[in-house]
Structure 1
Amino acid sequence: MSQPAVRKERLEYNKLQKRLRRQVGSAIADYNMIEEGDRIMVCLSGGKDSYGMLDILMSLQKTAPIRFELIAVNMDQKQPGFPEHILPEYLEQVGVPYHIIERDTYSIVKDVIPEGKTTCGLCSRLRRGTLYSFANEIGATKIALGHHRDDIIETLFLNMFYGGKLKAMPPKLLADDKRNVLIRPLAYCKEQDLADFADYKAFPIIPCNLCGSQENLQRQVIKQMLTDWERQYPGRTETIFSAIRNVAPSQLADTALFDFAGLKVDPDAVADAGDEAQAEAGVQQFIPALQVS
């Protein structure tokens, strides 16, 4: 590669790295994701997103005005051919404390889910339960997940189209057990940026052999729809994410979220409106005279 090409590539990488760091920093600040003394369990799958999340958090940790601890955790689900050595070698290389949890959820999923059916739902539930329990064991105050902006938007439409619910993935969430706080530091980051970042950093990506070759058809439909929209109307994805952050409950129809039944006319507002109408009528009477003069 020529010197100008090398310089250009380096420049692009620096811009990308700064953008991702800025977006992660903004998400952390906006939702108070990380606080002084936090012990954060960073969930690693071996995919591009979780690698990027750990890398950026480690970078921010060095310059943050507060002190917090990072502990990387991977769950070895005993998938056939899973390269067990890759993550430990990488984590030792970058110098972050880590744990590898070994649970044979692969066999459970294969026994329960019929051949050809999507395994993602059960797999994620089993993984989530194990990780939540382990977070309590190691005294983690936060659990960091690698979901990005595109994941959040896709989940919004999945729930709308297939679940009849208007919900997505919040950047910060108190788990149902009330014992774990989940954070998504990549909430403002685009998937393509994370893919480019992973290429630049040459992360040792581990494919998911359990479901990586199996398409979750509903999510793929949504992803393709959003891709087509973005191609036809650039910026639409950004607008959709802005909408998720700007919700007007009174303009929807959820009676549990807004008290539609209790809506009543305000007598004072009615009286004020009457006074304004009289004043306006008086002004209208004088307009012809003013026009003549």
Structure 2
Amino acid sequence: MNFALMTEQIDTDVSLDKKMKLRMNKLQKRLRREMGKAIADFNMIEDGDKIMVCLSGGKDSYAMLDILMNLQRNAPISFELVAVNLDQKQPGFPEHVLPAYLESVGVPFHIVERDTYSVVKSVVPEGKTTCALCSRLRRGTLYGFAEEIGANKIALGHHRDDILETFFLNMFYGGKLKGMPPKLVSDDGKNMVIRPLAYAREKDIAEYAELREFPIIPCNLCGSQDGLQRQIIKEMLQAWDKQSPGRIETMFRSLQNVVPSHLADAELFDFKSLEVGYRHGINPAMQSGAENNHMPEMIDILSV
């Protein structure tokens, strides 16, 4: 290669490197903005919190930890981050990858070793999906460890696409209108779970992870199984997103704009007590806390 061609190649490489850095900075700012809004909207993080950041080795949890650490350096409040990985003893799991990465970024961490892999393989019949049992075992172990280290918040790396997928999974296969909330308290009331990436798009996270060159560890326990219900839902949503850009955003907004009176859950909304003559059929005097001596004002139903 002559000098001119070498110079041209160097200029091209520099240009590509500059574009990649600009793209990474843009994605980081977007993810920071979305995470910051989710944290504010749901009051996920408060001054003095000790947050256990669950790290699986996948793109989502790497991105979550990366952005949380970025926010921690610039936040007006003080909070502690502790990264925790559950080593489930899957055959061939590269045990050295996560410790090396976590040491390199300077975050305190723990590797919790539990052989849930053997439990799952012994209980779930060959050919059946393992995700449900695997997630329950993993969740139980992590909840208990959070108490051990004194963490009052548990951060999981689920993003907006995960939340929508869960919503449709529950509706199509479980007969429930139920999603994956950005913030929740565990069933036993002991753990507060937060999902800081609740507003982030999976495709942004995937691109960011690639640009940041996170050392991704694939899940060989269930990731190669065919016919997973979640994969079917994921492909459906991806097709919709491709065919009708903006539909995913609209669907996610619907989860934040629920109208119980226009659904059909009699436990969620008191349909039996509806009365003609009141706005939306609700007699304020019949509501909890209403005083009997303050009768509601009747309205002209023809004007509604």
Counterpart in the other structure of 1:83: 94
Counterpart in the other structure of 1:262: 273
Contact 2:24 2:212 in 1 (8 A): no
- Determine which of 44, 49, 52 is the counterpart of 1:38: 49
**Shift, 1:8, TM fit:** 1.9
Q: Secondary structure at the match of 1:209?
A: coil
Counterpart in the other structure of 1:130: 141
TM norm structure 1: 0.91
**Shift, 1:7, TM fit:** 2.0
Instruction: Please give the alpha-carbon distance, in whole angstroms, between the structure 1 residues aligned to 2:18 and 2:113.
Output: 43
CA displacement, residues 134-177 of structure 1 (integer Å, 9 cap, x when unaligned): 11111111000000000000110000000000011000001101
**Shift, 1:240, TM fit:** 0.3
**Shift, 1:6, TM fit:** 2.3
Instruction: Please give the alpha-carbon distance, in whole angstroms, between the structure 2 residues aligned to 1:273 and 1:115.
Output: 62
Q: Secondary structure at the match of 1:75?
A: strand
Q: Which moved more, 1:99-108 or 1:223-232?
A: 223-232
Q: Residues 67, 272 of structure 1: CA spacing in aligned structure 2 closer, same or farther, 3 A cutoff? A: same
Q: Calculate percent identity across the aligned residue pairs.
A: 69
* CA RMSD, Structure 1 to Structure 2 (Å): 1.5
Q: Secondary structure at the match of 2:272?
A: coil
Q: Which moved more, 1:184-193 or 1:261-270?
A: 261-270
Instruction: Please give the alpha-carbon distance, in whole angstroms, between the structure 1 residues aligned to 2:226 and 2:100.
Output: 30
Matches within 5 A, 1:74-223: 74-215=85-226, 217-223=228-234
Contact 2:20 2:211 in 1 (8 A): no
Contact 2:58 2:217 in 1 (8 A): yes
**Shift, 1:72, TM fit:** 0.4
Q: Secondary structure at the match of 1:130?
A: helix
1:28 partner amino acid: I
Instruction: Please give the alpha-carbon distance, in whole angstroms, between the structure 2 residues aligned to 1:239 and 1:76.
Output: 38
Structure 1 position 71 matched with structure 2 position 115: no
2:191 partner amino acid: N
**Shift, 1:272, TM fit:** 4.2
**Shift, 1:266, TM fit:** 3.2
Q: Secondary structure at the match of 1:147?
A: coil
**Shift, 1:273, TM fit:** 5.4
TM norm structure 2: 0.87
Counterpart in the other structure of 1:242: 253
How many equivalent residue pairs?
275
Q: Residues 147, 266 of structure 1: CA spacing in aligned structure 2 closer, same or farther, 3 A cutoff? A: same
Instruction: Please give the alpha-carbon distance, in whole angstroms, between the structure 1 residues aligned to 2:227 and 2:44.
Output: 30
Q: Secondary structure at the match of 1:261?
A: helix
Q: Residues 262, 93 of structure 1: CA spacing in aligned structure 2 closer, same or farther, 3 A cutoff? A: same
**Shift, 1:10, TM fit:** 1.6
CA displacement, residues 99-155 of structure 1 (integer Å, 9 cap, x when unaligned): 111000010000000111100100000000000011111111100000000000011
Q: Secondary structure at the match of 1:173?
A: strand
2:156 partner amino acid: L
**Shift, 1:212, TM fit:** 1.8
Q: Secondary structure at the match of 2:271?
A: coil
Unmatched tracts of structure 2, length 5 or more: 1-11, 279-295
Instruction: Please give the alpha-carbon distance, in whole angstroms, between the structure 2 residues aligned to 1:181 and 1:44.
Output: 17
Q: Secondary structure at the match of 1:24?
A: helix
Counterpart in the other structure of 1:9: 20
Instruction: Please give the alpha-carbon distance, in whole angstroms, between the structure 1 residues aligned to 2:301 and 2:214.
Output: 65
Q: Residues 273, 70 of structure 1: CA spacing in aligned structure 2 closer, same or farther, 3 A cutoff? A: closer
2:102 partner amino acid: L
Contact 2:154 2:192 in 1 (8 A): yes
Instruction: Please give the alpha-carbon distance, in whole angstroms, between the structure 1 residues aligned to 2:127 and 2:300.
Output: 66
Larger Rg: 1
CA displacement, residues 25-50 of structure 1 (integer Å, 9 cap, x when unaligned): 00000000000100000000000000
Counterpart in the other structure of 2:8: none
